[in-house]
A and B are shown apart, each in its own frame.
Chain A
């Protein structure tokens, strides 16, 4: 049991966990036919239940899971897993049907139309009642956690956002508040709204498919499953006092010491690589970071358009392509910055603390 816990603690080191989830994500999509088999899913679900049950015997894990705040997270993990699987399974079945020259499942279903009233309204009504009943029972069984009156001098340690914002809070560790709190969330919302406008491809409208929309599905699921759900998981289970990382079964020790001396790129460049002092002119000081950032945002898109994404560029045209690639690069910047922080202790590429502007 102890070795099992040790192994899990090791695997839930965030660096390893994130790499693992990316590998699992890739494997899930590459071997999609295998993973969408019901028997595989049942085996996976059973394994997760066993793992969850075993974990419950650990007091440190129990402390987190049994917190009334965290109950929705367990539900979320289960629901996200199930519905992602369901969607992918239907996609695989549809792909096979279309290969055989047959109609998709959805096409067949929608051949027969039903009325909004009563058929749809009836279902909605039932759903409303069931949800209300569920919420009432839940609120009776679990009390809302009320804490002591707010005191500006006693910030709870760790101080956690509501569970659905823990991904954002994790983002704040790697970015300036303006970027992680305003720019990126805004881009997520605006970007998702913009998708139908820059994506004119009608494939996949109204039916599940994987073969026809590999890039779109991979990108979306990466953003949602890895950069949102996994970060929520990390924020809930692995972030402890002083916002240090803790293994899944590790005791939340307030005195855990972790030295994380972070360094800006300007210091790496001028002090460590060039062996000199940092220039006093802020613009000159941040020049390396500015060049890297500009290259990432302005040089990379045309290069990608000429190489990997040549087909997309031809289909979408310059404006749509550039909007798409901008959003894509902004999304990709999060894992890039996380990796830079974890591997090189790099804090900011561009840092103008004088003007509250950091990248």
Chain B
């Protein structure tokens, strides 16, 4: 309400200013004249353009859009391509991890955590391989030997040595990888095969190496 009131006197003041300052308008007018002269020069060509304008304008617009869409598409395709590297430096998904006799019974081997992201556990019956990815949100838990559990530092999930989740928010046990014996008697671990307990896959003989 009051805004309008303030505006209207302002507008009135401007309107009254123009006649009050004839010198200012006099200066402006000569500048306007050449522009006005330029318009008649263009004018003869204008009617000739008008017939083309509709179609010409639209085809020009269409062409412009097409170019734009094409360029954007090419850019998008190039960016997508960029996401897939030519070479990937990933450790091979299967590796040998020494002889079973190298492993102490009832211990969690952390030697391969850094390079391959696995824990190798040896118990009375045999050996299995646990993934070091927390099933809650993917942090890397720590093995707490004193408490005999894996404990995640992000939201406190805890897993028993078997990989079973028992505390914190993790909804499912740690995943296991395939384990077998190679011809030379070494333990062979295949990370391309996953075994999830909640799907009953731990019963698969490939997930556990009986010794």
Is residue A261 contacting chain B, with contact meaning CB distance below 8 A?
Answer: yes
Bound together, the chains give a CA A174 to CA B158 distance in angstroms of: 14
Neighbouring B residues of A177 by C-beta, 8 Å: 136-137
B2 near A113 (CB under 8 angstroms)?
yes
Across-interface contacts of B156 in A (CB, < 8 A): 173, 242-244, 260
Q: Considering the complex, give the chain A residue whose CB is closest to the CB of B115.
A: A153
Q: Cβ of A155 and Cβ of B172 under 8 Å apart?
A: no
Closest to B167 in A: A260
Asked if A181 and B151 sit within 8 Å, CB to CB, the answer is no
Given contact pairs A153-B114, A159-B153, A354-B199, A262 touches B167 in the complex (Cβ within 8 A): yes
Task: Chain A residues near B146: list those with CB within 8 A.
Answer: 255
Main secondary structure of the interface of A (DSSP, over half): loop
Q: How far, in whole Å, are A255 and B171 apart by their CA atoms in the complex?
A: 24
CA distance A158 to B154 in the complex (A): 6
Q: Which of A137-145, A205-213, A223-231, A345-353 contacts B (4 or more CB under 8 A)?
A: A345-353
Q: Knowing A260-B168, A353-B171, say if A243 contacts B6 (CB, 8 Å).
A: no
Bound-complex Cα distance A241 to B153 (A): 7
**Is A353 within 8 A of B140, CB to CB?**
no
Check A155 against B167 for contact (C-beta < 8 Å). no
- In the assembled complex, the Cα of A164 lies from the Cα of B132 at a distance in Å of 28
Query: Using a CB-CB cutoff of 8 Å, which residues 64-80 of chain B contact chain A?
Result: none
Tell me the bound Cα distance from A351 to B169 in angstroms. 11
Bound-complex Cα distance A358 to B144 (A) = 27
Could you say which of B6, B113, B166 contacts A261, with CB atoms under 8 Å apart?
Answer: B166
User: Which of chain B's residues have a CB closer than 8 A to the CB of A174?
Assistant: 169
Q: Is A281 an interface residue (CB 8 A)?
A: no
Instruction: Provide the residues of chain A in CB contact with B151, threshold 8 Å.
Output: 242
CA distance A15 to B163 in the complex (A): 29
- CB proximity to A under 8 Å, residues B110-133: 113-114, 117, 132
Which residues of the partner chain B approach A348 to less than 8 Å between Cβ atoms?
Answer: 171
Tell me if B167 and A175 are in contact (CB < 8 A).
no
Q: A100 interface residue, CB < 8 Å from B?
A: no
A157 CB within 8 Å of chain B: yes
Report which of A152, A181, A259 forms a contact with B167, defined as CB distance below 8 A.
A259
Contact status A169-B155, CB under 8 Å: yes
Q: How many Å lie between the Cα of A39 and that of B169 in the bound state?
A: 45
A260 in contact with B158 given A255-B146, A353-B172 (CB within 8 Å): yes
Residues of A near B199 (CB, < 8 A) are 354
CB neighbours (8 Å) of B198 from chain A are: 353-354
Residues of the A chain whose Cβ atoms lie less than 8 Å from the Cβ of B53:
none
Interface size band for A: 35 or more
Among B142, B166, B171, B199, max chain A CB count under 10 A is at B171
Q: Which residues of A contact B3 (CB under 8 A)?
A: 113
Question: What's the Cα separation between A262 and B171 when bound, in Å?
Answer: 10
Q: Does A133 contact B (CB under 8 A)?
A: no
Identify which of B136, B141, B153, B171 contacts A156 (C-beta below 8 A). B153
A172-B153 in contact (CB<8A) = no
Asked if A153 and B132 make an inter-chain contact with CB atoms under 8 angstroms apart, the answer reads: yes
Contacts of A69 in B (CB 8 A): none
Residues from chain A with Cβ under 8 Å of B169 in the complex: 172-176, 347
Flag if B142 contacts A262 (CB, 8 Å).
no
**A159–B171 CB distance below 8 A:** no
Could you tell me the distance between the alpha carbons of A8 and B105 in the complex, rounded to whole angstroms? Answer: 45
Contact A153-B113, Cβ < 8 Å, known A113-B3, A113-B6: yes
Q: Is the CB of B155 within 8 A of A172?
A: yes
Does A30 interact with chain B (Cβ within 8 Å)? no
**B147 adjacent to A257 (CB under 8 Å):** yes
Contact B158 A157 (CB under 8 A): no
B108 within 8 A of partner (CB): no
List chain B residues, Cβ under 8 A from A260: 156, 158, 167-168
Q: How far, in angstroms, from A155 to B113 measured CA to CA in the complex?
A: 12
Contact A159 B132 (CB under 8 A): no
**7 other contacts beyond A152-B140, A356-B171, with CB at 8 A cut-off?**
A113-B3, A152-B117, A155-B142, A260-B158, A347-B169, A354-B199, A358-B171
Question: Which of A's residues lie within 8 Å of B, judged by CB?
Answer: 113, 151-159, 169, 172-177, 181, 241-244, 255, 257, 259-262, 347-348, 351, 353-354, 356, 358
Could you write out 23 A-B pairs with CB less than 8 Å apart? A152-B140, A155-B141, A155-B142, A155-B154, A157-B142, A169-B154, A172-B155, A172-B169, A173-B169, A175-B169, A176-B169, A176-B171, A242-B151, A242-B156, A243-B154, A244-B156, A257-B147, A260-B156, A261-B166, A261-B167, A347-B171, A356-B171, A358-B171
